[in-house]
């Protein structure tokens, strides 16, 4: 019988600890356990036999860390590990299965660490292919603490093997993964990826896991398996021990079974005795199958948004349609602008962020991937991937960390056939537009009929109704007075008749009419009253958010009116001083004031007069104070931020008028290969930009060649390199050497905590910056010549 | 676990020299960063006591040698040694990354406050360890200090499950991520 036919339908028993058993059989601290598959096959046969004698159905291979970052003979190790397990299992005439054990890589993925997602995927791919070829029955991805790493492993297993995939995670006592996800988020993301089983192992004993299981069961429709440690670890004379006895372990596992787990096993500290006691006590129990859940949810790497009665706000601002500044940012690859739009919308109350970066003149798939990666590295707000380019859609879905919202599919056969396979494979909640080959039906019935067609087609692809959110399309009332009414009725009927959630791009309704926000916010309230589940709106619009907070307050979705009071009556608390001009505002770091004063100055002065006559002199005063130790780094940066606010307003003004200010000079900056600290470099970037330089920021951990390539591509004559640690200074030296070899008259300035002027000279740098301000001074001197 | 920060230490990390004190405005930023950090950190620590022997250049722990004469003098008279690791988790790094695109002043401030908080975490952890492991505890000594090369982190990670239990990973240059993380040796002198 196949594993899939049994798992979740009858109680299965996994084995216990491998590491504990290997240590008992001679493995020393610090030795790599996976080598024992080759050096001590007899030990592995013995351990597997003991667990099989205890009554296990599933035994796990000794391949936890068998990846090519640690071993250069992965295939050999895995082949021998699987063969040993199979050989052991063949001795028994009951159904037994060999699980290919896949543990974490041991290196954190980007953006937290330095391992790229695709490299993680390749490492796992090698493992699972070797495992399947050697005859494993399933892939057991376990002790995972990072959803992103899990995604890489699951994709590797599903794309390269036909084996069932089980995923087991290590939670802390509060039910949180190391990367910050709670149980709900983990379940939502894993079910999106379509794993066959969700579990917990390691870290905790059965007592703690029982509590977490109850929560997991609330969200999971997928079979759950539980492999606790034999209690929490205790250190005795430097040795880690676990003190839950086999009998106690068995009792607790029985309770876990009765609370809805369908398979049991053990992790650290459990032995064949624990497993035998557990099986003896539990084997005649009846399985409790997991009930199907029907909630609609999307997630980020750590947060979940569930669609229910209270409407969900989807921020619409990251979409270039009709936005000059965003268009310009996209053309100039100014990612920070996009990230700031994300942060301000989240701060304004967005639950989900729509991300649309489509412009005819840019490479949309690449831009989409960069935007999604960047946004998810600084925000835990789930994203809505919004594109009509299925290549961009797939690339974004692949690297998205969580279960995203996808915008969109419609009732056209072509659309459904290209989008649904992606939704099925990567997971997601997809926005379904009620239009098809014949356009948008004018009647409610017509749009509902398309919705039904979409539901049925999705079902053919194995996509459940809960993962579809319907957009009945909002047409402007200026072309037909009944348009709003039809849309509202559709929203009501979609919910009532078809039992699905809804979404609307609200602002279309007012197209062509004056004072649009008023109509939009009124329509938004009406739509919510008709059951709208989510609105794609501008969360930075006070009127829209006031409508939302008022609606939630009136309908009882706002506990103690917290959001209503907190947001509708918000006032800025910056000191109001009347005699503060722009220059003083910058020196003192008063952002709000600087905003107002910039607007005022723009009425009588040209942008250049403001920049050269006010902003730069103000920055210079603060800069000098910094150099004289009268102002320190935070003060310098507050002024820089404030000047930045002013520059932003000036830029808006310029874009509106279709002009530009000339940049003073181009500079490439980067943190060198091997160094992951980029705060110093980021500070330098902001200061240089303030002074009008065009800064090309290559990021951190950048190879010498990538820096040289950027210098050549952008024809740059000044490069700034940062390194924080003594260990990465050689990498800086190497970079300088390569720059000097491959380019002519390019100068290099260097900075970083451990550098000194002598050292800078020794490694061939042209300039040494002792602090952030000196990079500005160097640039001034350099471009003067 | 509620962590605190010390203003003086934070100011030092922010580059304040000669005992200069941050202004009221900067103190407000410090408080704001502290509150935001408290929302996102997942402070955790682990430790393990080992027997060790002295070698010519350092110490030998469970068959692994750590070379540093400074470490030797630092743990003088110690009869056993604790390997210790503590982290604020990935939330602090994510917050600092966010500030680096929204507010560079807050980046510098949050970085410093987080530095002070991780020190506080180490102090709390060390107090706890003193309750469990009797004897005089010498001050913490970390790979990267003095002559103790940072590459010792790799062996340190073999003896203490930094990755599995704290989620810490080492880069090729032996740097730890999440960055608000500390590893240290602590000598114990038993009576």
pLDDT in tens, A514-550: 999 999 999 999 999 999 999 999 999 999 999 999 9
Q: Are residues A240 and A144 in the same domain?
A: yes
CATH code, domain with A586: 1.10.1240.10
ipTM of the assembly?
A: 0.89
List the 111-150 stretch of B: residues with Cβ below 8 A of A: 111, 132, 144, 150
Across chain A, which distance is largest between two alpha carbons, in Å? Answer: 92
Q: Provide, as residue numbers in chain A, all residues whose Cβ is less than 8 Å from the Cβ of B131.
A: none
Angle between helix A41-54 and A74-90 (nearest 10)? 40
Q: What is the pLDDT of residue A187?
A: 98
Residue A442 lies in a domain: no
For chain A, say whether B173 makes contact (Cβ under 8 Å): yes
Q: Which of A30, A106, A675 sits opposite B64 (nearest CB)?
A: A30
Residues A673 and A649 in one domain: no
Distance from CA of B73 to the nearest CA of A (A): 23
Is the domain of A132 the same as that of A272? yes
Residue A741 inside a domain? The answer is: yes
A202 to B15: CB separation less than 8 angstroms, yes or no = no
pLDDT greater than 90 at residue A407: yes
Domain check: are A594 and A542 in the same one? no
Strands A97-102 and A58-60: parallel
pLDDT tops 70 at residue A236: no
- Eight-class DSSP state of A286: P
By percentage, how much of chain B surpasses pLDDT 70?
100
Closest CA to A617 of A687, A691, A667: A691
The answer, yes or no, to whether residue A135 has pLDDT greater than 90, is yes
> What is the least distance, in Å, from the CA of B184 to any CA of chain A?
16
Task: Choose the mutation target among B171, B178, B179, B186 for the interface with A, i.e. most A CBs under 10 Å.
Answer: B171
Condensed to tens digits (0 to 9), the pLDDT of residues A97-133 reads: 999 999 999 999 988 888 999 999 999 999 999 999 9
pLDDT above 90 (res A573) = no
Asked whether residue A524 is assigned to any structural domain, the reply reads yes
Residue B47 has pLDDT above 90, yes or no: yes
Among A115, A178, A677, whose Cβ lies nearest the Cβ of B179? A677
Burial call A256-276: b when 16+ CB within 10 Å, e when fewer:
bbebbbbbbbbbbbbbbbbbb
- Indicate the class that CATH gives domain B7-189: alpha beta
Interface of B with A in 57-76 (CB under 8 A): 62-64
The average pLDDT across A458-481 equals 96
Would an 8 Å CB–CB cutoff place B159 in contact with chain A?
A: yes
Same domain, A14 and A157: yes
Confirm whether A574 is domain-assigned: no
Distance CA(A454)–CA(A433), nearest Å, equals 9
* Side-chain half-sphere CA neighbours of B182 within 13 A: 26
A103, closest residue in chain B (CA to CA): B164
Does residue A662 have a pLDDT over 80? no
The token duo for B173 is 């240059």
Of A232, A256, A282, which residue is a domain's last? A282
Query: A427 and A406 in contact (C-beta within 8 Å)?
Result: no
Sign of CA dihedral B169, B172, B175, B179: negative
The CA-atom distances, in angstroms, between A73 and each of A28, A69, A78, A101 are 21, 10, 9, 16
Angle, helix A335-347 to helix B90-102, in steps of 10 degrees: 110
Contact B37, B114 (CB under 8 A): yes
Domain boundary (A251, A282, A313) is at A282
Residues A612 and A741 in one domain: no
B107–A725 C-beta distance less than 8 A: no
Mean pLDDT computed over B140-169: 91
Of the partner residues B42, B107, B158, the one whose CB lies closest to the CB of residue A679: B107
CB A776 within 8 A of CB A687: yes
Q: What pLDDT, on a 0 to 100 scale, did the predictor assign at position A420? A: 98
Average pLDDT in the A313-336 region? Answer: 92
Residue B4: pLDDT band with limits 50, 70, 90: very high
Cα A595-A598-A604 angle, rounded to 5 deg:
155
Best of B169, B174, B185 to mutate (most A CBs within 10 Å, chain A): B169
How high does pLDDT run on average in chain A?
A: 93
Q: What share of chain A has pLDDT > 70, as a percent?
A: 98
The pLDDT of residue A755 is 86
Any domain includes A724? yes
pLDDT at A326: 93
DSSP class of residue B164 equals: H
Both A83 and A165 in one domain: the answer is: yes
Give the pLDDT of residue A334. Answer: 87
pLDDT of residue A574: 52
Indicate which of A339, A589, A634, A639 best probes the interface with B, i.e. most B CBs within 10 Å of its own CB: A634
Average pLDDT (A65-70) is 95
pLDDT at A575: 53
Confidence at residue A405, expressed as pLDDT on a 0 to 100 scale: 98
B-chain residue closest to A30, CA distance: B158
Q: How many CB pairs under 8 A join A and B?
A: 165
Locate the chain A residue with the closest alpha carbon to B178.
A112
User: Do the domain assignments include residue A332?
Assistant: no
User: Does A52 lie in the same domain as A30?
Assistant: yes
Residue A218: which domain range? 3-282
Q: Which two tokens stand for residue A391?
A: 């290549």
Parallel, antiparallel, or unpaired for β A718-722 and A747-751? parallel
Number of domains composing chain A:
4
Q: Say yes or no: A189 and A278 in one domain.
A: yes
Specify if A201 maps to a domain.
Answer: yes
A85 and A145 both lie in a single domain: yes
Q: What is the mean pLDDT of residues A204-220?
A: 96
Q: What dihedral do alpha carbons A757, A762, A765, A768 form, nearest 10°? A: 0
Asked whether residue A684 falls in the same domain as residue A543, the answer is: no
For residues A598 and A711, membership in a common domain is answered with no
Which of A257, A282, A307 is at the close of a domain? A282
Q: Is residue A555 part of a domain?
A: yes
- The CATH number of residue A496's host domain is 3.20.20.20
**pLDDT tens digits along B161-185:** 898 889 999 988 888 999 999 999 9
Give backbone dihedrals phi and psi of A315, rounded to 5 degrees, phi first. Answer: -70, 130
**Does A492 score more than 70 pLDDT?**
yes
pLDDT for A234 equals 76
pLDDT score recorded for residue A663: 79
Q: Which residue of B has its CA nearest to A178?
A: B167
pLDDT at A316: 96
Radius of gyration of chain B (CA): 18
Q: Let me know: does A143 contact A110? Beta carbons within 8 Å.
A: no
Q: Cβ(A380)–Cβ(A300) under 8 Å?
A: yes
Structure tokens at A378: 């600084």
Quick one: pLDDT band at residue A651, thresholds 50, 70, 90? Answer: confident
Residue A657 confidence class, pLDDT cut points 50, 70, 90: confident
C-alpha to C-alpha distance for A22 and A43, rounded to whole angstroms:
8
CB contact under 8 A, A589 and B105: yes
């Amino acid at each position: 019988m196949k594993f899939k036919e049994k798992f979740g339908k009858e109680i299965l028993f996994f084995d216990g600890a491998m590491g504990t058993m290997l240590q008992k059989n001679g493995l020393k601290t610090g030795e790599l356990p996976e080598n024992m598959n080759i050096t001590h096959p007899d030990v592995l046969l013995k351990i597997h036999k003991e667990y099989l004698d205890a009554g296990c159905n599933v035994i796990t291979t000794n391949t936890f860390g068998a990846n090519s970052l640690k071993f250069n003979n992965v295939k050999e190790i895995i082949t021998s590990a699987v063969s040993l397990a199979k050989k052991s299992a063949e001795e028994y005439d009951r159904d037994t299965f060999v699980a290919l054990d896949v543990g974490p890589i041991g290196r954190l993925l980007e953006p937290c660490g330095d391992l790229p997602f695709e490299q993680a995927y390749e490492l796992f791919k090698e493992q699972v292919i070797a495992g399947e070829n050697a005859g494993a029955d399933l892939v057991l991805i376990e002790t995972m603490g990072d959803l992103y790493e899990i995604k890489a492993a699951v994709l590797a297993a599903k794309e390269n093997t036909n084996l069932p995939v089980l995923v087991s995670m290590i939670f802390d006592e509060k039910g949180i993964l190391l990367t910050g996800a709670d149980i709900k988020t983990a379940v939502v993301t894993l079910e999106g990826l379509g794993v066959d089983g969700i579990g917990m192992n390691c870290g905790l004993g059965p007592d703690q896991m029982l509590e977490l299981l109850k929560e997991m069961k609330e969200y999971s429709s997928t079979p759950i398996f539980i492999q606790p440690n034999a209690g929490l670890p205790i250190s005795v004379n430097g040795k880690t021990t676990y003190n839950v006895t086999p009998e106690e372990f068995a009792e607790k596992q029985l309770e876990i079974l009765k609370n809805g787990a369908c398979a049991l096993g053990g992790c650290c500290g459990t032995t064949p005795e624990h497993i035998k006691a557990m099986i003896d006590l539990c084997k005649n129990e009846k399985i409790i199958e997991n009930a199907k859940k029907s909630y609609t949810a999307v997630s980020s790497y750590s947060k979940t948004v569930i669609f229910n009665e209270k409407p969900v706000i989807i921020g619409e601002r990251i979409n270039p349609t009709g936005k000059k500044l965003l268009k310009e940012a996209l053309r100039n690859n100014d990612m920070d602008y996009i990230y700031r739009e994300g942060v301000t919308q989240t701060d304004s109350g967005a639950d989900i962020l729509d991300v649309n970066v489509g412009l005819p003149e840019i490479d949309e798939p690449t831009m989409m991937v960069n935007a999604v990666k960047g946004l998810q590295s600084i925000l835990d707000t789930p994203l809505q991937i919004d594109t009509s380019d299925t290549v961009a859609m797939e690339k974004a879905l692949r690297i998205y960390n969580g279960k995203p919202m996808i915008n969109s599919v419609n009732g056209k056969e072509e659309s459904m056939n290209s989008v649904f396979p992606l939704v099925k494979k990567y997971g997601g909640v997809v926005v379904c537009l009620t239009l098809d080959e014949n356009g948008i039906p004018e009647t409610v019935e017509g749009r509902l009929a398309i919705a039904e067609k979409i539901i049925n087609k999705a079902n053919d692809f194995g996509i459940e109704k809960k993962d579809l959110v319907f957009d009945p399309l909002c047409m402007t009332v200026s072309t037909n007075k009944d348009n709003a009414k039809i849309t509202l009725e559709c929203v009501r009927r979609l919910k009532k008749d078809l039992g699905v959630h809804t979404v609307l791009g609200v602002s279309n309704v007012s197209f062509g009419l004056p004072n649009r926000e008023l109509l939009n916010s009124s329509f938004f309230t009406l739509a919510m009253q008709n059951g709208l589940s989510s609105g794609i709106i501008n969360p930075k619009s006070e009127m829209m958010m006031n409508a939302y907070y008022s609606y939630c307050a009136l309908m009882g979705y706002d506990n103690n009116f917290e959001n209503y009071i907190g947001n509708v009556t918000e006032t800025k608390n910056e000191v109001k001083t009347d005699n503060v001009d722009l220059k003083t505002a910058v020196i003192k770091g008063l952002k709000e004031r600087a905003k107002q004063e910039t607007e005022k100055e723009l009425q009588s002065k040209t942008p250049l007069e403001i920049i050269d006559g006010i902003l730069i002199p103000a920055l210079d005063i603060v800069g000098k104070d910094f150099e004289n130790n009268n102002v320190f780094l935070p003060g310098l940066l507050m002024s820089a931020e404030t000047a930045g606010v002013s520059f932003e307003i000036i830029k808006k003004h310029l874009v509106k008028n279709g002009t530009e200010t000339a940049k003073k000079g181009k500079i490439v900056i980067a943190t060198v290969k091997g160094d992951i600290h980029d705060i110093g470099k980021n500070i330098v970037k902001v200061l240089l930009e303030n002074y009008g330089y065009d800064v090309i920021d290559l990021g951190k951990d950048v190879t010498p060649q990538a820096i040289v390539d950027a210098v050549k591509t952008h024809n740059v004559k000044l490069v700034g390199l940062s390194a924080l640690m003594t260990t990465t200074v050689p990498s800086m030296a190497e970079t300088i050497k390569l720059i000097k070899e491959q380019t002519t008259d390019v100068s290099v300035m260097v900075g970083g905590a451990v550098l000194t002027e002598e050292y800078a000279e020794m490694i061939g740098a042209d300039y040494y910056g002792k602090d952030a301000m000196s990079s500005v001074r160097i640039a001034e001197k350099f471009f003067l010549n | 676990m509620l962590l605190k920060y010390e203003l003086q230490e934070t100011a030092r990390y922010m580059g304040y020299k000669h005992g200069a004190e941050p202004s009221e405005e900067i103190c407000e930023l410090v408080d704001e960063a502290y509150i935001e950090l408290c929302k996102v950190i997942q402070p955790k620590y682990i430790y393990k006591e080992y027997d060790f022997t002295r070698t010519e250049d350092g110490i030998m722990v469970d068959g692994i040698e750590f070379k540093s004469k400074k470490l030797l003098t630092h743990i003088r008279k110690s009869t056993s040694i604790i390997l210790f690791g503590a982290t604020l988790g990935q939330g602090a790094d994510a917050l600092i990354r966010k500030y680096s695109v929204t507010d560079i002043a807050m980046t510098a401030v949050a970085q410093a406050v987080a530095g002070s908080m991780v020190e506080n975490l180490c102090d709390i952890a060390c107090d706890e360890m003193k309750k469990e492991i009797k004897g005089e505890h010498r001050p913490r000594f970390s790979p990267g200090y003095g002559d103790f090369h940072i590459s010792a982190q790799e062996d340190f990670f073999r003896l203490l499950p930094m990755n599995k239990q704290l989620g810490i990973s080492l880069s090729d240059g032996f740097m730890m991520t999440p960055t608000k993380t500390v590893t240290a040796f602590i000598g114990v002198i038993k009576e």
